[in-house]
Amino acid sequence: MKNIKIVFAFMVLLLNYSCEDVLEIESRNTFTEDFIYSDPDQLERLVFTSYNSTESWGLNKFIWWSRRFNIEGASFEAKFNFRDIDQYRLRAGWNPNNVGVFRDQWRKYYSYIRDILVFLDRVDNSEAMQVDPQKVNMLKAEMKFLLANTYSKLIKYYGGVPLITRALSLDEDFNIPRNSYQECVEFIVQTLDEAADVLPLTRPDDEFGRATKLAALAVKSRTLLYAASELHDPSTLPNGPFYDYNVANKWQEAADAAKAVIDEVGARDLIPVTNAEDYRDLFLSANRDIIFARPFGATFFDFGTDVNSLWNQTQAPSGYGGWALSSPSHNFALLYNMNDGSTTSSSLYDPANPNENREMRYYADLNFNGAEFRNRNVEYFESRDTDIFPHGLDSPFGLGNVLHSSKTGYNIRKFQDESVGLTETSPGRPFILYRLSEIYLNYAEANFQLGEEGIAREYVNKVSTRALQPAITASGADLLEAIKRERRIELSFEGHNFFDERRWMNTDHLGFDIKGLKWYKETDGSFTNEEITVVSRPWFDRQYYLPIPQSEINKTSSLIQNDGY
For residues 260-286, average pLDDT: 97
3-state secondary structure at position 424: coil
Residue 306 confidence (pLDDT):
61
User: Which tens digits make up the pLDDT trace of 483-528?
Assistant: 999 999 999 999 999 999 999 999 999 999 999 999 999 999 999 9
- CA 516 and chain centroid, separation: 24
For residues 179-187, average pLDDT: 98
Residue 65 confidence (pLDDT):
87
Would the pLDDT of 5 be above 90?
A: no
Would the pLDDT of 265 be above 80?
A: yes
Would the pLDDT of 24 be above 70?
A: no
Residue 169 confidence (pLDDT):
63
Residue 170 confidence (pLDDT):
66
Name the residue among 250, 244, 296, 273 with its Cα closest to residue 427: 296
Contact between 220 and 212 (Cβ < 8 Å): no
Cα Rg of the chain (Å, integer): 24
Residue 115 confidence (pLDDT):
93
Which residues fall within 8 angstroms of residue 207, CB to CB, at 6 or more apart?
A: none
- SS3 of 353-397: the string is CCCCCECHHHHHHEEECCCEECCEECCCCEECCCCCCCCCCCCCC
Would the pLDDT of 15 be above 70?
A: no
Report percent pLDDT > 70 for the chain. Answer: 91
3-state secondary structure at position 16: coil
pTM (predicted TM-score): 0.93
CA distance 434 to 143: 18
Strands (E) in 175-325, as ranges, are 290-295
CA distance 273 to 522: 37
Q: Specify the amino acid at residue 157.
A: Y
Q: 525-528 — which CB contacts under 8 Å span 24+ positions?
A: 525/389, 527/369, 527/370, 527/381, 528/352
- Going by their DSSP bridges, the two strands 430-435 and 410-412 should be labelled as unpaired
Would the pLDDT of 227 be above 70?
A: yes
Residue 33 confidence (pLDDT):
83
| pLDDT band with cut points at 50, 70 and 90 for residue 310 | confident
Residue 6 confidence (pLDDT):
36
Would the pLDDT of 103 be above 60?
A: yes
Q: Specify the amino acid at residue 424.
A: E
Would the pLDDT of 79 be above 90?
A: yes
Report percent pLDDT > 90 for the chain. Answer: 84
Name the residue among 446, 96, 434, 29 with its Cα closest to residue 250: 446
Residue 296 confidence (pLDDT):
73
User: Which tens digits make up the pLDDT trace of 423-460?
Assistant: 887 777 899 999 999 999 999 999 999 999 999 999 99
User: Which tens digits make up the pLDDT trace of 111-150?
Assistant: 999 999 999 999 999 999 999 999 999 999 999 999 999 9
What letter does residue 531 receive in the DSSP assignment? E
CA distance 422 to 417: 8
Quote the mean pLDDT of the chain.
92
**Angle at which helices 40-50 and 133-158 cross, to 10°:** 10
For residues 18-28, average pLDDT: 36
Residue 22 confidence (pLDDT):
34
User: Which tens digits make up the pLDDT trace of 59-77?
Assistant: 998 888 898 899 999 999 9
Name the residue among 166, 148, 146, 167 with its Cα closest to residue 47: 146
| pLDDT band with cut points at 50, 70 and 90 for residue 305 | low
